[in-house]
Chains A and B, each alone.
Chain A
Amino acid sequence: EDKVVQSPLSLVVHEGDTVTLNCSYEVTNFRSLLWYKQEKKAPTFLFMLTSSGIEKKSGRLSSILDKKELSSILNITATQTGDSAIYLCAVEGGAGGTSYGKLTFGQGTILTVHP
């Protein structure tokens, strides 16, 4: 069974701190790993990492994929209160020939940034 595990489950920091969120996976036919940010609505896309693109950066956010360790980290530097959200890691893949586009989500990390 495909599995995606995120840690920590929750994190409380102060503005300006740097945080690192972790995601590890066991997925058959791995194709990509995606990070989403979810506030009080549907998830919004942050990054997609594949074998050909194992590091992504956008502003204060960056992410690295370690295919050897079957894991990824999401870094947020100089955190702001607007970064408070649930961060979801999802891995695309799965057993069988119809694994296209199927995402297995982790349980999420709840990040709270205090002023």
Chain B
Amino acid sequence: DAMVIQNPRYQVTQFGKPVTLSCSQTLNHNVMYWYQQKSSQAPKLLFHYYDKDFNNEADTPDNFQSRRPNTSFCFLDIRSPGLGDAAMYLCATSRGRVAIEQFFGPGTRLTVL
């Protein structure tokens, strides 16, 4: 089945130790998104790619970076995780630009010790 896959599902890192979260999709969608969702809050968009075109949200901290080496994969790099970065990170994809349903992966829950 076509899907959005995130690895790992649970990630524990130490304060300040870089971490990379992975997302892959078999839907061949043009657009890939990274969201951060903290407990009891709505998902917050960090950035998205339309093909290789990277779009950063204005309030996304510099500590967060992203890479999309090809259509299928997208990575979220957190350069120096702080305690406040502990959250669920959701990857989503959509087929195109306008009025399009987004398909979410299962998420990676990040714990920062």
Q: Which residues of A contact B (CB under 8 A)?
A: 31-32, 34, 41-45, 48, 50, 88, 92, 98, 100-108
Say whether B107 contacts A32, CB under 8 Å: no
Bound-state Cα–Cα, A41 to B37, Å: 11
Bound-state Cα–Cα, A108 to B94, Å: 22
Given contacts A34-B101, A100-B50, contact A42 B106 (CB under 8 A): yes
Q: How many A-B contacts at CB < 8 Å in the complex?
A: 56
Given contacts A42-B90, A100-B50, A101-B33, contact A50 B99 (CB under 8 A): yes
Bound-state Cα–Cα, A41 to B90, Å: 9
Q: Which residues of B contact A (CB under 8 A)?
A: 31, 33, 41-45, 48, 50, 55, 90, 94, 96-107
Top 6 A-B pairs ranked by shortest CB distance? A105-B42, A100-B97, A42-B104, A32-B99, A31-B99, A42-B107
Residues on the B chain within 8 Å of A92, using CB:
98-100
Closest to B102 in A: A103
Q: How far is the CB of B2 from chain A (nearest CB, A)?
A: 14
Residues on the A chain within 8 Å of B96, using CB:
100-101
Say whether A41 contacts B43, CB under 8 Å: no
Residues on the A chain within 8 Å of B103, using CB:
45
Given contacts A100-B98, A101-B50, A101-B96, 9 further A-B contacts (CB under 8 A): A32-B100, A42-B104, A44-B104, A88-B43, A92-B99, A100-B97, A101-B31, A105-B44, A107-B41
Bound-state Cα–Cα, A97 to B45, Å: 17
Say whether A105 contacts B98, CB under 8 Å: no
Say whether A43 contacts B48, CB under 8 Å: no
Given contacts A43-B43, A108-B42, contact A31 B98 (CB under 8 A): yes
Say whether A41 contacts B99, CB under 8 Å: no
Bound-state Cα–Cα, A103 to B107, Å: 17
Say whether B48 contacts A102, CB under 8 Å: yes
Q: How far is the CB of A107 from chain B (nearest CB, A)?
A: 5
Residues on the B chain within 8 Å of A50, using CB:
99
